[in-house]
Structure 1
Amino acid sequence: MESLSPNIFVSDMDATIGFYKILGFETVTTVPEDGSNLVWAMMTNNAVTIMFQTMESLGDDLPAISRTDGGSLLLYISLKNIHDYFDKIKDQVTVLKGLETTFYGATEFSILDNNNYVITFAEHGS
Protein backbone atom coordinates (compact mmCIF):
# COMPACT_ATOMS: atom_id res chain seq x y z
CA MET A 1 0.00 0.00 0.00
CA GLU A 2 1.16 3.51 -0.71
CA SER A 3 -1.53 5.97 0.34
CA LEU A 4 -5.10 6.48 1.51
CA SER A 5 -7.31 9.14 -0.06
CA PRO A 6 -10.87 9.15 1.26
CA ASN A 7 -13.67 9.90 -1.21
CA ILE A 8 -16.34 11.68 0.82
CA PHE A 9 -19.90 12.05 -0.46
CA VAL A 10 -21.36 15.54 -0.06
CA SER A 11 -24.55 17.45 -0.80
CA ASP A 12 -23.07 20.82 -1.76
CA MET A 13 -19.78 20.70 -3.64
CA ASP A 14 -19.21 24.47 -3.74
CA ALA A 15 -19.80 24.83 0.02
CA THR A 16 -17.51 21.86 0.70
CA ILE A 17 -14.67 23.28 -1.40
CA GLY A 18 -15.09 26.63 0.34
CA PHE A 19 -14.97 25.00 3.76
CA TYR A 20 -11.85 22.97 3.04
CA LYS A 21 -10.13 26.07 1.63
CA ILE A 22 -10.56 27.58 5.12
CA LEU A 23 -8.58 24.57 6.39
CA GLY A 24 -5.79 25.33 3.91
CA PHE A 25 -6.67 22.78 1.23
CA GLU A 26 -6.25 23.60 -2.46
CA THR A 27 -8.29 22.20 -5.34
CA VAL A 28 -6.12 19.96 -7.53
CA THR A 29 -8.63 18.73 -10.10
CA THR A 30 -12.38 18.66 -10.67
CA VAL A 31 -15.01 16.95 -12.80
CA PRO A 32 -15.97 18.61 -15.00
CA GLU A 33 -12.66 20.40 -15.44
CA ASP A 34 -14.28 23.76 -16.29
CA GLY A 35 -15.53 24.09 -12.70
CA SER A 36 -19.25 24.28 -13.52
CA ASN A 37 -21.77 21.98 -11.81
CA LEU A 38 -19.03 20.00 -10.10
CA VAL A 39 -19.68 16.35 -9.28
CA TRP A 40 -16.18 15.47 -8.04
CA ALA A 41 -13.12 17.30 -6.71
CA MET A 42 -9.72 16.41 -5.33
CA MET A 43 -8.16 18.72 -2.75
CA THR A 44 -4.77 18.58 -1.05
CA ASN A 45 -2.93 20.19 1.84
CA ASN A 46 0.69 19.04 1.72
CA ALA A 47 0.63 15.21 1.92
CA VAL A 48 -3.10 14.98 2.75
CA THR A 49 -5.47 14.28 -0.15
CA ILE A 50 -9.26 14.17 0.12
CA MET A 51 -11.71 13.58 -2.71
CA PHE A 52 -15.30 14.79 -2.66
CA GLN A 53 -18.17 13.50 -4.78
CA THR A 54 -21.79 14.57 -4.95
CA MET A 55 -24.33 12.07 -3.70
CA GLU A 56 -26.33 12.64 -6.89
CA SER A 57 -23.42 11.53 -9.08
CA LEU A 58 -23.33 8.23 -7.22
CA GLY A 59 -26.70 7.32 -8.75
CA ASP A 60 -27.68 3.73 -8.00
CA ASP A 61 -24.07 2.54 -7.74
CA LEU A 62 -22.85 1.14 -4.43
CA PRO A 63 -26.19 1.00 -2.57
CA ALA A 64 -24.37 0.28 0.71
CA ILE A 65 -23.17 3.92 0.81
CA SER A 66 -25.46 6.10 2.91
CA ARG A 67 -27.08 9.02 1.08
CA THR A 68 -27.17 11.24 4.18
CA ASP A 69 -24.70 13.87 5.37
CA GLY A 70 -22.07 12.88 7.87
CA GLY A 71 -20.98 9.41 8.63
CA SER A 72 -19.63 7.04 11.19
CA LEU A 73 -16.04 7.93 10.54
CA LEU A 74 -13.54 10.43 11.83
CA LEU A 75 -10.83 11.93 9.65
CA TYR A 76 -7.60 12.08 11.66
CA ILE A 77 -5.05 14.50 10.24
CA SER A 78 -1.55 14.86 11.66
CA LEU A 79 0.19 18.21 11.35
CA LYS A 80 2.88 20.40 12.85
CA ASN A 81 2.34 23.72 14.66
CA ILE A 82 -1.13 22.72 15.84
CA HIS A 83 -1.54 25.76 18.13
CA ASP A 84 -0.97 28.18 15.23
CA TYR A 85 -3.31 26.18 12.97
CA PHE A 86 -6.02 26.08 15.65
CA ASP A 87 -5.76 29.84 16.16
CA LYS A 88 -6.01 30.37 12.39
CA ILE A 89 -9.25 28.41 11.85
CA LYS A 90 -11.07 28.28 15.22
CA ASP A 91 -13.33 31.27 14.57
CA GLN A 92 -14.32 30.04 11.08
CA VAL A 93 -15.37 26.47 11.93
CA THR A 94 -17.45 24.56 14.49
CA VAL A 95 -15.02 23.39 17.17
CA LEU A 96 -16.28 20.22 18.85
CA LYS A 97 -13.33 19.78 21.20
CA GLY A 98 -10.66 22.38 21.84
CA LEU A 99 -6.95 21.84 22.16
CA GLU A 100 -6.02 19.18 24.66
CA THR A 101 -3.21 16.77 25.36
CA THR A 102 -4.29 13.14 25.18
CA PHE A 103 -3.20 10.26 27.40
CA TYR A 104 -0.97 9.07 24.54
CA GLY A 105 0.84 12.41 24.37
CA ALA A 106 -0.69 14.00 21.26
CA THR A 107 -2.10 17.52 21.19
CA GLU A 108 -5.46 17.41 19.43
CA PHE A 109 -8.62 19.30 18.58
CA SER A 110 -11.76 18.27 16.70
CA ILE A 111 -14.07 20.18 14.37
CA LEU A 112 -17.25 19.48 12.42
CA ASP A 113 -17.09 20.09 8.68
CA ASN A 114 -19.96 21.54 6.68
CA ASN A 115 -21.21 18.01 5.85
CA ASN A 116 -21.28 16.85 9.51
CA TYR A 117 -18.06 14.84 9.28
CA VAL A 118 -15.74 15.04 12.28
CA ILE A 119 -12.10 15.97 11.68
CA THR A 120 -9.51 15.59 14.42
CA PHE A 121 -6.19 17.37 13.97
CA ALA A 122 -3.23 16.07 15.95
CA GLU A 123 0.37 16.93 16.62
CA HIS A 124 2.47 14.11 18.04
CA GLY A 125 5.43 14.77 20.28
CA SER A 126 4.70 18.47 20.73
Structure 2
Amino acid sequence: MESLSPNIFVNNINKTIEFYTLLGFELAMSVPETGPDLVWAMMVKGNVTLMFQSIESLAEDLPEIKRTDGGSLLFYIKLQGIRVFFEDIKDKVTVLKGLEKTFYGATEFSILDNNSYVLTFSEDE
Protein backbone atom coordinates (compact mmCIF):
# COMPACT_ATOMS: atom_id res chain seq x y z
CA MET A 1 0.00 0.00 0.00
CA GLU A 2 1.20 3.47 -0.81
CA SER A 3 -1.42 5.96 0.32
CA LEU A 4 -4.92 6.54 1.63
CA SER A 5 -7.11 9.31 0.24
CA PRO A 6 -10.58 9.28 1.79
CA ASN A 7 -13.54 10.05 -0.45
CA ILE A 8 -15.93 11.78 1.94
CA PHE A 9 -19.62 11.96 1.10
CA VAL A 10 -21.22 15.36 1.58
CA ASN A 11 -24.44 17.14 0.67
CA ASN A 12 -22.93 20.27 -0.90
CA ILE A 13 -19.55 20.22 -2.65
CA ASN A 14 -19.32 24.00 -3.10
CA LYS A 15 -19.92 24.76 0.60
CA THR A 16 -17.40 22.06 1.52
CA ILE A 17 -14.80 23.65 -0.77
CA GLU A 18 -15.44 27.02 0.89
CA PHE A 19 -14.96 25.53 4.37
CA TYR A 20 -11.74 23.65 3.59
CA THR A 21 -10.36 26.72 1.79
CA LEU A 22 -10.65 28.50 5.18
CA LEU A 23 -8.31 25.81 6.53
CA GLY A 24 -5.75 26.49 3.79
CA PHE A 25 -6.64 23.62 1.45
CA GLU A 26 -6.55 24.25 -2.28
CA LEU A 27 -8.87 22.81 -4.88
CA ALA A 28 -6.79 20.46 -7.06
CA MET A 29 -9.52 18.95 -9.27
CA SER A 30 -13.28 18.86 -9.60
CA VAL A 31 -16.02 17.25 -11.69
CA PRO A 32 -17.14 19.09 -13.66
CA GLU A 33 -14.13 21.39 -13.82
CA THR A 34 -16.24 24.49 -13.08
CA GLY A 35 -19.79 25.45 -12.30
CA PRO A 36 -22.31 25.47 -9.50
CA ASP A 37 -23.23 21.78 -9.73
CA LEU A 38 -20.01 20.03 -8.73
CA VAL A 39 -20.33 16.34 -7.84
CA TRP A 40 -16.71 15.64 -6.81
CA ALA A 41 -13.68 17.64 -5.67
CA MET A 42 -10.13 16.92 -4.54
CA MET A 43 -8.51 19.30 -2.08
CA VAL A 44 -4.88 19.31 -1.02
CA LYS A 45 -2.77 20.92 1.68
CA GLY A 46 0.81 19.71 1.96
CA ASN A 47 0.76 15.91 2.03
CA VAL A 48 -2.94 15.73 2.96
CA THR A 49 -5.40 14.91 0.17
CA LEU A 50 -9.14 14.79 0.77
CA MET A 51 -11.76 13.96 -1.83
CA PHE A 52 -15.39 15.01 -1.47
CA GLN A 53 -18.29 13.53 -3.41
CA SER A 54 -21.97 14.32 -3.39
CA ILE A 55 -24.13 11.57 -1.97
CA GLU A 56 -26.52 12.03 -4.89
CA SER A 57 -23.84 11.27 -7.49
CA LEU A 58 -23.60 7.61 -6.42
CA ALA A 59 -27.17 7.01 -5.26
CA GLU A 60 -28.03 4.75 -8.20
CA ASP A 61 -24.71 2.91 -8.50
CA LEU A 62 -24.11 2.36 -4.79
CA PRO A 63 -27.38 2.71 -2.85
CA GLU A 64 -25.54 1.36 0.24
CA ILE A 65 -23.87 4.77 0.55
CA LYS A 66 -26.20 6.72 2.75
CA ARG A 67 -25.69 8.77 5.84
CA THR A 68 -26.84 11.70 7.85
CA ASP A 69 -24.50 14.57 8.64
CA GLY A 70 -21.34 13.68 10.50
CA GLY A 71 -20.79 10.19 11.66
CA SER A 72 -18.51 8.06 13.75
CA LEU A 73 -15.41 9.24 11.97
CA LEU A 74 -12.64 11.59 13.05
CA PHE A 75 -9.89 12.86 10.77
CA TYR A 76 -6.56 13.14 12.61
CA ILE A 77 -4.26 15.56 10.76
CA LYS A 78 -0.64 16.15 11.76
CA LEU A 79 0.92 19.49 10.94
CA GLN A 80 3.64 21.92 11.90
CA GLY A 81 2.90 25.33 13.36
CA ILE A 82 -0.27 24.27 15.15
CA ARG A 83 -0.48 27.38 17.34
CA VAL A 84 -0.33 29.77 14.37
CA PHE A 85 -2.82 27.61 12.44
CA PHE A 86 -5.21 27.58 15.42
CA GLU A 87 -5.05 31.37 15.76
CA ASP A 88 -5.72 31.74 12.01
CA ILE A 89 -8.90 29.64 12.00
CA LYS A 90 -10.37 29.64 15.53
CA ASP A 91 -12.80 32.49 14.85
CA LYS A 92 -13.88 31.10 11.46
CA VAL A 93 -14.88 27.56 12.53
CA THR A 94 -16.64 25.69 15.32
CA VAL A 95 -13.95 24.74 17.84
CA LEU A 96 -14.91 21.64 19.79
CA LYS A 97 -11.77 21.40 21.89
CA GLY A 98 -9.14 24.12 22.19
CA LEU A 99 -5.38 23.74 22.14
CA GLU A 100 -4.16 21.34 24.77
CA LYS A 101 -1.16 19.18 25.51
CA THR A 102 -2.02 15.48 25.62
CA PHE A 103 -0.59 12.85 27.94
CA TYR A 104 1.33 11.43 24.95
CA GLY A 105 3.07 14.76 24.31
CA ALA A 106 1.16 16.10 21.31
CA THR A 107 -0.51 19.49 21.14
CA GLU A 108 -3.99 19.14 19.65
CA PHE A 109 -7.28 20.87 18.94
CA SER A 110 -10.52 19.69 17.36
CA ILE A 111 -13.06 21.44 15.14
CA LEU A 112 -16.32 20.55 13.42
CA ASP A 113 -16.44 20.89 9.64
CA ASN A 114 -19.48 22.11 7.71
CA ASN A 115 -20.68 18.50 7.26
CA SER A 116 -20.43 17.67 11.00
CA TYR A 117 -17.21 15.67 10.67
CA VAL A 118 -14.64 16.11 13.45
CA LEU A 119 -11.13 17.21 12.45
CA THR A 120 -8.39 16.91 15.06
CA PHE A 121 -5.13 18.70 14.31
CA SER A 122 -1.96 17.60 16.07
CA GLU A 123 1.69 18.55 16.38
CA ASP A 124 4.48 16.85 18.29
CA GLU A 125 5.94 19.97 19.89
Secondary structure of the 2:3 match is coil
Structure 2, unaligned runs of 5 or more:
none
Note the C-alpha offset of 1:51: 0.1
- The residue that corresponds to 2:88 in the other structure is 88
State the alpha-carbon separation in 2 of the partners of residues 56 and 37 from structure 1: 11
- The residue that corresponds to 1:28 in the other structure is 28
What is the TM-score of this pair, normalised by structure 2?
0.95
- The residue that corresponds to 1:113 in the other structure is 113
State the alpha-carbon separation in 2 of the partners of residues 64 and 103 from structure 1: 39
| More off after superposition, 25-34 vs 107-116 | 25-34
Q: Does 2:99 match 1:99?
A: yes
Note the C-alpha offset of 1:61: 3.2
- The residue that corresponds to 1:78 in the other structure is 78
- The residue that corresponds to 1:62 in the other structure is 62
- The residue that corresponds to 1:41 in the other structure is 41
CA RMSD of aligned residues (A): 1.1
State the alpha-carbon separation in 2 of the partners of residues 103 and 64 from structure 1: 39
State the alpha-carbon separation in 1 of the partners of residues 59 and 65 from structure 2: 11
Note the C-alpha offset of 1:71: 1.4
State the alpha-carbon separation in 1 of the partners of residues 71 and 120 from structure 2: 14
| More off after superposition, 50-59 vs 34-43 | 34-43
Note the C-alpha offset of 1:9: 0.5
What is the letter of the counterpart of residue 17 of structure 1? I
CA-to-partner distance for each residue in 1:41-93, whole Å, 9 max, x for gaps? 00000100000000110113334433311111100000001000000000000
Note the C-alpha offset of 1:112: 0.1
Say whether the 8 Å CA contact 2:78–2:123 is kept in structure 1: yes
Secondary structure of the 1:37 match is coil
